[in-house]
Every structure is written in C-alpha cells, then in structure tokens.
Structure 1
Amino acid sequence: MASGTELTHAAPTAGEYIAHHLTFLNNSGEMQANLIDFGLYNVDTLFYSIVLGLLTVFLLHRAAAKATSGVPGRFQAAVEILVEMVADQAKGMIHSEESRRFVAPLALTVFIWIFFMNAMDLLPVDLLPRIWEGVYSAAGHDPHHAYMRVVPTADINATMGMSIAVLLLCLYYNVKIKGAGGWFHELISAPFGNHILLAPFNFAMNVIEFLAKTVSHGMRLFGNMFAGELIFMLIALMGGAWTGMNAPSILLAAGHFVAGLSWAIFHILVITLQAFIFMMLTLVYIGQAHDGH
C-alpha cells in the first residue's frame, strides 16, 4: 500500500498543483523564500526568452534575405505587413528620420518577440513541465522539485526588465535630442513653469512621471499574462478531476474542453493585443523624448 507521502505526491491538491506551476526554476533549485532576492535569477525565464528572441531575429533575418521585388510569398507578405504597420506608427510618433532608423526595427522586434513569449501560454499547461520533470528525475533528482514556468512575460522580472530598457532609451534620446543642459532645464521648468521656486516641484513631478510610465509599462504586460496563465491552470484542474464514468466527471471534462477551447481562442487576441500595446507604448515614450514641453 502506498504511504501518505506517496499519495500526496501522486494526487496533489488544487492549491499544490497551482503553487507548483507558479514556481520558477531558479539558480538555487529551490522555491524563492524572500519576496526580493537579488542573488536569484529565473533560469526558465532566461532560457525561453533568449530562445524566442533568437527565433525572432532568425525569422526577420530570413525574411530580409529572401525578400524579392516580385510577387511575395505568404511569409514575406506577412512580414511586410508588420514592417509597414510599425513604420507607419513610428512615423506618426517620432519625427526624426535618423531616430526612426533604429527605433522602428526595434519596435518590430519587440512586437514579434513579445508575441512569441506570450504565445507560450497556448501550449498545454503540463506539456513542457512534464517533460522537464522526466529529465529532472532521470538525472537523479526529486521530480517534485522540477519547477518550470514557460511564459517569460508572466515573470515580472522579464517585463520590468524590458520596461527599464525602454526607460534607458528614453533618457538617451532626451539627452541626444535636447542636450544635457536642455533636458535638465526641461526637468526643472515643466510642467508648472520656469520659476526657481517651482523647480523642485517640477523635478519631482518629472521623476514620478518617468517612474510611473516604467512601472505601468511592465506591470500591464505582466498582469495580463499572469492572469491568462492562471486561468489556464484553473481550466486544467477541471480536466484533472476525472474519477470515472460518472455525471460530475463527464460534466467537468466537457467543461474543461469547452472552457479551454474558448479561452485559448480568446487568448490569441490577448497575446497579440498585449504585444501591440507594449510596442506602441515604446514608440509613444521614445516619441515623447523627442518633444519638448
């Protein structure tokens, strides 16, 4: 007869199942104990984001290498549509042609990269974690400590890292376009006016604005993808409640199929929209760095 511990491992509760799926594979190999620990990094987030980033660069490079002046194929046509969309958006927000030569390709790369990272949410919840569990077990480790999360954008470290990178670009273009002196003058003279007594308030307001834009930029993407990932887990629990050919199990299995299919179809819109919003806000914030108050 199986022991109590074995039964617990074989059939985790709903809370244990979700907690396990929400735990990142970090460099310590254990669950993160503290809310903030700068000594840890999430290996799964880094792995999937780097692999998908390389895939993005490869696809764009292939599209550029195979581009022809004749009738384009489906792949080339799809990439050209994306390029034109991003170029039009960049042209309306960033008036410097020199800046657009860098920012527009960056925005296109960001859109496709985030779309791929978001799309990992469409894979079956247990597919890659189960494969990793088998690999982990074969290596002689406890399979119940085989943590893995496959959606990089459901990790706040990834989304905030990207939003901080956008902030650094904004600071760079503020200095490049306006000069260090001109930008500093703007920081202390807007939005309340160019008066020495108002300088501390102007400076504080501008710092708060930069911080608020950066935090909201990263948190928006993280919040939407984390919520989507959690809903998929809750739907998976419906299918995992099967106990045999009885009415409750059949109804839960049917609900699992219908809810899973419906949410997956709707989530295609979510992952695309969130990638587009992050790209657009990137263009908006960099465009604002080119404008004076």
Structure 2
Amino acid sequence: MHTSPIIELGGIKFDLSTILMLIVTSVIVFVIAKLATRNLSVENPGKLQNFMEWTVEFVQNLISSTMDWKKGKHFLSLGLTFIMFIFVGNLLGLPFGIVTGVHDPEHAHIFGKEIVSVTEEFAKHPDVEEVELAWWKSPTADASVTMGLAFIVFFLSHFLGMTRNTKSYFKHYFQPYWFFFPINVIEQFAKLLTQGMRLFGNIFAGEVLISVLLKLTALGVGGYIASALGLIVWQGFSIFVGAIQAFVFTILTMVYISQMIESHDEHEH
C-alpha cells in the first residue's frame, strides 16, 4: 500500500512528497522562463523564446476575453505563473514514480523526525509487512495544494473588489434583492471549493488510473502488454487533460477577478 511521507513539526503535519514536488515544479518553471528569456532575439528567436512569446500572447488574449485590458494587464504575470506552474505540476506524476518501502516502524525516521504516516499505518494494520512511501507525484494531485492555489485566487479577488470597486463589491451581495445575501455569500465559497477540487479531482483520478494500470503487470505477459498499451494511451491523453486543467484554473481566476473589479454595468456593456 502507498502512503505519503508525513512528519509532524510543532503539532502541524507536513507531507514531504508534496513539499518536494512543489520545489521541483517551481524550479522547472523558473528554468524554463530563464532559458526562454536569456538570449532574446527579434531576428532569430529560439524555440523556447517562441514558446514563451506564444504563452504570453495566449494569456493576454485570455485576460482580454474576461475584462478590459487596461485593468487586466496587471494580472499578466499572475496568469503566466498559474498556467505554467499548474501545467508543469500536472505532468510531473506521469513519467515515473519514486516509491520506497519501510518494513519496521522503528526505522520510519527522516531528518531525525518520525514519519507519522508510517507508524500510524503499522498501528492500524499490525499484519502489514511493508508500508510503501510515494515520493514522486503531481503536486496538484494533493487537495491541500489545489485548495491553497484556489484560496490565493479567492483572497486576491475579494481584496481587489473591496479596495478597487468597494461600492459595487458590497452592493452585489444584495442583488437582485436583499434576501439573496446568504445565497450570494454561499456562491463565493462554492467558487473557492469548485476551483480547487476540480483541479485536484482530475489530476488525482489520472494518477489513480496509472497505478491501476501498473498493477496489471502482476497478471503475466498479457498484463504487461495491456499495462504498456494503457499507459501509452493514458499518458498521451493526460498531457491534454493537464493542459486543459491549467487553462480552466487560469481563466476562472481571471473571471473571478473581473467579477470583483468591474461593476455590474460594465459586465452588461
């Protein structure tokens, strides 16, 4: 059975695999951006520069489709960061996995700290001979990560609404009638939940399917063939799913920001 390597610091539990993959994702995005902008050229742009220019133009069009560009241009960096970070993060769990096994709870330590997920697993299932720790996965296959990203959007959009569009922001909670206030409040939290859980659900389901396909190898030669073919097809499709989910999260971000910083009249216009 696979579990995450979790340690406890100051009463707070930390998933080391998630932290590792967040760092890896950030480094990959930084390297791509750095290489793409290192030797900029107008006459003979490189492939990475072309890719980055296409990405910037794509995000610009995405923002322009949700709000006036004069207001939306300030969110270009945010959109680029989200779409690249989420796309790379979505794909990291596809190529391979890193799994280590622990046979004795007394050896379940790292950096001098107890891996509580392992000791708890042995305590719940005394007959288990080995607990497998999954170190490599898509960070977006963790609900805490996707909900964290969604909360950033939630906090930013509402902060902008309260500071840049104060009157319309508070007024919209009582539209079309004052007794719609509870429904409008629930709607805001529903947006937070659905934005984060949509991303998590799609990526987590993909990784679960990959683990199921890998287990087909236990069925012999036929299982190996079925597993290989299934992985080829699914990983190709997962690239498409990863791109779509990065796009959906980013455009929802811009839609939510637009709804907060633009008045009702501007939306109608």
Q: What TM-score results when the alignment is normalised by the length of structure 1?
A: 0.75
Check the 8 A contact 1:94/1:100 in 2, yes or no: no
Cα distance in 2 for residues equivalent to 1:171 and 1:62: 35
Unaligned runs of 5+ in 1: 1-15, 30-37, 243-248
* Percent identity over paired residues: 27
Deviation for aligned residue 1:185: 2.8
Retained in 2: the 8 A contact 1:159–1:218? Answer: yes
The whole-number CA distance in structure 1 between the counterparts of 2:228 and 2:163 is: 54
- What's the secondary structure of 1:71's corresponding residue? coil
**May I ask how many residue pairs the two structures share in their alignment?**
242
- 1:67 equivalent among 40, 48, 71: 40
TM-score, with normalisation over the residues of structure 2? 0.81
Matched-pair contact (CA < 8 Å) for 2:169–2:260: no
Q: Give, in angstroms, the shift of residue 146 of structure 1.
A: 5.2
Are residue 231 (structure 1) and residue 203 (structure 2) matched? no
Using the TM superposition, name which of 56-65 and 262-271 deviates more: 56-65
Q: CA deviation at 1:44?
A: 1.2
Q: Distance in 2 between matches of 1:115 and 1:97?
A: 27
**Structure 1 equivalent of residue 5 of structure 2:** 25
Aligned equivalent of 1:10? none
Structure 1 match to 2:170: 184
Matched residue, 2:89: 117
Partner amino acid, structure 1, of 2:90: N
Q: Secondary structure at the match of 1:158?
A: helix
Residue in 2 aligned with 1:6? none
Structure 1 or 2, whichever has the larger Rg, is 1
Code of the aligned partner of 2:145: A
Q: Distance in 2 between matches of 1:292 and 1:92?
A: 16
* 2:65 aligned counterpart, secondary structure: helix
Is there any run of 5+ residues in structure 2 with no aligned partner, and where? Answer: 110-117, 119-129, 265-269
Which of 161, 164, 168 lines up with 2:151 in the alignment? 164
Q: 1:66-102 CA distances to partner (integer Å, 9 max, x unpaired)?
A: 222222111111111111000111122121525422x
**Residues 123-162 of structure 1 aligned to structure 2 (within 5 Å):** 123-124=95-96, 127-130=97-100, 133=101, 141=108, 144-145=130-131, 147-149=133-135, 150-162=137-149
Contact 2:213 2:231 in 1 (8 A): yes
Letter in 2 for 1:44: S
> In the TM superposition, what is the alpha-carbon distance from 1:234 to its structure 2 partner?
0.4
Runs of 4+ in 1 over 6 A off after TM superposition: none
CA-CA distance at 1:208 after TM superposition: 0.9
Give yes or no for the alignment of 1:108 onto 2:80.
yes
| Residues 157-213 of structure 1: per-residue CA shift (max 9 Å, x gap) | 00000001000111121023212x44223323x1x23xxxx2xx3321221111011
Report the CA distance shift for 1:228/1:257 in structure 2 as closer, same or farther (over 3 A): same
2:260 aligned residue: 289
Q: What is the rounded CA distance, in whole Å, between the counterparts of 2:142 and 2:69 in structure 1?
A: 34
Q: Which residue of 2 aligns with 1:174?
A: 161
